[in-house]
Structure 1
Amino acid sequence: MRRLVVDANPLVLLLVGFAAVVASLAVRDLRTGVIALTAYAVAGAVLLPSLRFALLRFVAVGVASVSVVWSTWLLGGHDAELALTAGLRIVVLALPGAVLAAFLDPSRLADQMGQRLHVPARFVVAFAAALQRFSALREVWVQLDRARRARGFGPTRNPVSLARHGGALAFAMLVAALRDAGRMSAAMDARGFADARTRTWAEPAPWTRADSGLLALGLFLALVPWLVR
């Protein structure tokens, strides 16, 4: 059961994440928001392979939610229920997509887009390559940080030093990303991606019963707040 999300079709994960947008539109009162969030939490506890990972994503989404609660309370006549409802709406909107996005595999997503949605092959390959490079940014950041520290350019505990170190890493990562993008573009053009109109695919793009079941569950979760309003 806990492998269902890990092995799920990437298109299903995207659709479930977008369905949460529809669910958030029904969160107009505190009771509806609590019930909708509880439904997503129960589904996550049953399906997700790691609850710790989900809690970390919840903390990240919670930061945005708290800022919305504070601004709504401050500008909305100090109405606590109205502020909490606005915060829950943000959590219901963002949390499912934030959690499921971590299970998206760029290669599998590209296969589904090209074979099932019939998106142009050139766009699909470029999209998959960009997603793969984006997922590698954290590794590039760690390597650049280690290189600077090994050369004696590491930061001290001074906030100014930390800010300078972060700025230098950000600029170095930008240069590295532009350089890698140029190399990838040249490699793709050399392999005929610039002129090709029809391409074959190395891997199949299946749609299983488990995918249909997960999609049905996601749509049901999106309908829960509408049913309890």
Structure 2
Amino acid sequence: MIPSIVEARGPLARINPVAKLAAAFLIAFPLIVSVDWVSGVTALLLEIPLFMLSGIGWRRFWLRTLPVWIAAPLTGVTIALYGQESGRVYADFLLITISDGSLELAAATFFRVLAIALPGVVLFADVDPTDLADGLSQRAKLPARFVLGALGGLRLVGLLISDWRELETARRARGVADQGRIRRLIGMGFALVVLAIRRGSHLATAMESRAFGADTARSWARESRWGGGEWLLMAAGVVISATAITVSVQTGWYNPIFGR
């Protein structure tokens, strides 16, 4: 099962998850519509205080964000090799062309990936799925039936690993797990899908019997709180985005994708 309660460790840990989601979007949107390295670097530097206030610790920070640090350089290398050619050409072989334009675009992509992905990973490192569901229903006004259904499904994701291990143990006990690896994986995968569908049906029936699908306004066991901290976090997202775009425009590097 996925843990339902995570101990808050930093000032941002108890912020409403909806505010974290909004802040991540506010930071990402201006970076998506502009392709330049200046705005990415500026946003990345301004995000450092958010990383420190999250309280996840540097060891957890590097472990949680490791996929981002792997994906960003790989993306940059791909753009450098196959990006748009312009300016001085440094290498040209078959489909590979390394030029000033491709290197500039690679640097912009690298920093934009970091500036967009890191806040989302860090801000949601200690988010309780139940708190997120409460916030989406009570504050973002999303349909409660959809949100609670997604929450119920998410709570069961952790059981898939246990089911897989039980299936593997049972098959080994019957002596059918030592040969035919591909056939074994296909059989176990099919069995896991059947178990997931059966458990999902039971969960849906249980939720329906408790009136989770009723059209009337429902009550909530926990109130999704919203205060000054949430507004400050969203304001920080606006400041980071506005500053990044302003610096990019003032330095002459601003390159909107819609104006290309």
TM-score, scaled to structure 2: 0.71
TM-superposed deviation, 1:154: 11
Inter-CA distance 193–28: structure 2 relative to 1 (3 Å threshold) = closer
The answer as to whether partners of 2:76 and 2:109 remain within 8 angstroms in 1 is: yes
- Alignment equivalent of 1:123, drawn from 120, 130, 146: 146
Distance 1:84 1:179, change over 3 A: same
- Counterpart for residue 29 of structure 2: 22
Q: CA deviation at 1:172?
A: 4.7
More helix by share: 1
Q: Retained in 1: the 8 A contact 2:10–2:54?
A: yes
In the alignment, is residue 224 of structure 1 matched against residue 224 of structure 2? Answer: no
Please give the alpha-carbon distance, in whole angstroms, between the structure 1 residues aligned to 2:67 and 2:139: 33
Residue 13 of structure 1 corresponds to: 20
The 2-side partners of 1:205 and 1:60 are apart by 31
1:148 alignment partner in structure 2:
168
Deviations 1:146-187 (A, max 9, x none): 76258368999xxx96x7776666555433322221111111
Q: Percent identity?
A: 27
Task: Give 1:50-199 correspondences, 5 Å limit.
Answer: 50-76=57-83, 77-78=97-98, 79-134=102-157, 136=158, 140-141=160-161, 144-145=164-165, 148=168, 151=172, 170-199=189-218
Q: Helix, strand or coil for the counterpart of 2:10?
A: coil
String of CA shifts for 1:105-148, please: whole Å, max 9, x gaps.
Answer: 222222223333333332232132233234x2xx5315633762
Describe the shift of the 1:100–1:214 C-alpha distance in structure 2 as closer, same or farther (beyond 3 A).
same
Q: Is the 8 A contact 1:5 1:48 kept in 2?
A: yes
Residues matched between the structures, number: 222
Q: Name which of structure 1's ranges 147-156 and 184-193 shifts more when overlaid on structure 2.
A: 147-156
In our comparison, the structure showing a higher alpha carbon Rg is 2
Residue 38 of structure 2 is matched in structure 1 by 31
Partner of 2:88 in structure 1? none
How far apart are 1:44 and its partner, in Å? 0.4
CA distance in structure 2 between the aligned counterparts of 1:68 and 1:75, rounded to whole angstroms: 11
- Unaligned runs of 5+ residues in structure 1 are none
Q: For 1:175 and 1:26, how far apart are their aligned partners in 2?
A: 43
CA shift, 1:75, in A, is 1.1
Structure 2 portions without partners, runs of 5+: 1-7, 84-96, 249-260
The one-letter code of the counterpart of 1:225 is A
RMSD: 3.0
**Partner letter of residue 200 of structure 1?**
S
